[in-house]
Amino acid sequence: MRNLLTRTASGIVYVALMVAAVFTPWVAVPLAFFLALVGVRELYKMYETPELKQVYPFTNIAAGVVMLAFLNLSVQLFEASMARALPHTGEPSPYFIGFYLMMLIAIVSVFLPVLFCKQVHPVQVIGMGLLSIVWIVLPLCVLFFLWPSHNPAQMLSFFILIWASDTFAYLGGSLFGKHKLAPDISPGKTWEGFLISFVLTVGLAVGLSFIPFFKSWGLLWWHLIVIALLTQVFGLLGDLTESLFKRKAGVKDSGKIIPGHGGVLDRVDSILFATLPVMLFCWLIVR
């Protein structure tokens, strides 16, 4: 009972922070940095070796620089949009020059320790650094720095649908699950849970389309259905990927920082995979 109360309380705080981040940068910015840097730390701890321990500070620097690059870019683009136009000259925009320069610094930070520190497995070391940036940091940068200013309703619907998808899959699998979806990776996931979640999440998406807040931002019923389908498929891939990483590392949870839930990666694994495809759909299709 006590564990259930702890899990419920921490879950409410987590959801409240994520929703608040949709509407205010004062929550979004520190939350993004916290999730990214702690997530990178959890990944390195799962596979900690003397080599990885040696290069972790460099990866941490790279992660921070990437986040600062996206944060700076989002601020500049927002200011330009408020001025109603980006500068049109024959030269590269100063916004993107700064962005590219900071990304270059981040890449150098990942490769630098392999060049100047004694490493037995340089490919694995570099691979861990690049995985940290691409899998954890990049989606969180896009989610918290580039997405909210575009359309907060899209981001909020994304959160609602991906959380609902996870919840429906868990309940459906617990009540009706018989056929394992990926027994060697995540024995708890079943095809029944996936299908029940699929139907209910799409139904929820249709329901959201009737709420004035989402309609006022131009989200149609079919937009939300596509977002639901993308969160369903890519969210599952993200969940299975993190489960695979944990199974190979021999750990149950990625960390213990969220009481009753485990680590940061345990909470955002679905979001990390689903952010980029959903964002791309919203930017290209939804106006």
Distance from C-alpha of 155 to C-alpha of 102, rounded to nearest angstrom: 26
The residue extents of the domains of the chain are: 25-149, 151-287
Burial (Cβ within 10 Å: 0-12, 13-18, ≥19) of residue 223: buried
Q: 87-101, 126-140, 257-271: which range is least confident on average?
A: 87-101
Distance from C-alpha of 260 to C-alpha of 217, rounded to nearest angstrom: 35
pLDDT at 278: 94
pLDDT for 237 beyond 80: yes
Task: For residues 232-252, give the mean pLDDT.
Answer: 93
In Å, how far are 32, 53, 110 from 216, measured between CA atoms? 27, 49, 44
Provide, rounded to the nearest whole percent, the portion of the chain with pLDDT above 90.
57
Distance from C-alpha of 169 to C-alpha of 192, rounded to nearest angstrom: 8
Task: For residues 277-287, give the mean pLDDT.
Answer: 85
Of 85, 10, 54, 92, nearest to 256 by C-alpha is: 10
Task: For residues 19-45, give the mean pLDDT.
Answer: 94
pLDDT at 70: 93
In Å, how far are 34, 217, 228, 238 from 160, measured between CA atoms? 21, 16, 9, 17
